[in-house]
């Protein structure tokens, strides 16, 4: 297969995983949530210039990544991961969202609601100015810190956050192995291994696994935290 289209095909494969999760969600509200979160997460694809070529430099459709540092594949990829992370736990463990009662919002921990939501983006943009710190580490630190802030403010979400981190890590690892199998040597050609640890786990850059874990930990709680929702067993 032509490695020039690896990033496109790899993004479409993840979109297919997204579609499977979406189709198996029985709750119409969960499907709606998945679509909304995916749409917003797709905007993270616009941060690609921060990562190209500092972290990697993938051949892309119309050579956009090389010419502009933006690419279409990043939007598709971000759309897919957002919906998967937010829905995987609820789908497997059959959870549903219910609104937090107004009285419950007066819990002392909720006074930090806004600060907890702002923690990840504020830390991300602040660390971008740290010299010689690769943006992949900036993203991971910001997401883990944002996740811990959410954990403090919304301890009821900690089980979903931790479980989602490991679930998405496992899924992403298996998914990445398909890229390595289809395109041997692709990682060495495309990732800027000299700028990161250079450690490969069965061919997968350690930073990719770090990204998957931190994303699953943080992003899985974003919707419930922002929308004042909590999880209940389905049908309870």
Spell out the domain ranges in the chain: 3-233
Nearest to 214 by CA among 169, 170, 176: 169
Q: Could you give the 3-state DSSP secondary structure of residue 191?
A: strand
153 CB-near residues (< 8 Å, 6+ apart): 109, 110, 112, 113, 116, 225
* pLDDT (tens digit per residue) in 91-135: 888 877 776 656 566 677 777 778 888 999 999 999 999 999 999
What is the spatial distance between Cα 53 and Cα 57, in angstroms, rounded to a whole number?
5
Q: Residue 201's beta-bridge partner residues? A: 204
- What mean pLDDT is predicted for residues 160-188? 96
* pLDDT (tens digit per residue) in 158-168: 999 999 999 99
Of the listed ranges 45-49, 90-94, 136-140, the one predicted with least confidence: 90-94
Cβ pair 38, 81 in contact under 8 A:
no
Catalogue the E-assigned strands of the chain: 95-99, 200-201, 204-205, 229-233
What's the pLDDT at 95? 75
Nearest to 210 by CA among 222, 199, 221, 220: 199
């Amino acid at each position: 297969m032509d490695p020039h289209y690896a990033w496109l095909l790899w993004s479409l494969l993840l979109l297919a995983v997204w579609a499977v999760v979406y189709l198996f969600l029985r709750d119409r509200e969960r499907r709606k949530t998945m679509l909304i979160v995916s749409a917003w997460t797709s905007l993270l694809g616009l941060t690609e210039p921060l990562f190209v070529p500092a972290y990697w430099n993938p051949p892309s459709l119309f050579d956009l990544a090389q010419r502009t540092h933006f690419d279409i594949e990043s939007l598709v990829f971000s759309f897919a991961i957002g919906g998967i992370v937010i829905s995987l736990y609820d789908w497997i463990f059959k959870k549903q969202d219910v609104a937090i009662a107004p009285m419950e919002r007066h819990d002392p921990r909720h006074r930090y609601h806004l600060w907890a939501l702002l923690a990840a983006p504020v830390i991300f943009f602040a660390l971008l100015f740290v010299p010689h710190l690769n943006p992949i580490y900036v993203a991971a630190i910001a997401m883990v810190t944002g996740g811990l802030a959410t954990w403090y403010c919304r301890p009821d979400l900690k089980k979903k956050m931790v479980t989602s981190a490991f679930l998405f890590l496992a899924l992403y690892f298996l998914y990445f192995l398909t890229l390595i199998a289809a395109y041997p040597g692709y990682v060495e050609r495309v990732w800027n291994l000299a700028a990161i640890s250079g450690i490969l786990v069965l061919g997968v850059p350690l930073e990719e696994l770090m990204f998957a874990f931190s994303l699953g930990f943080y992003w899985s709680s974003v919707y419930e935290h922002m929308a004042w929702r909590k999880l209940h067993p389905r049908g309870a």
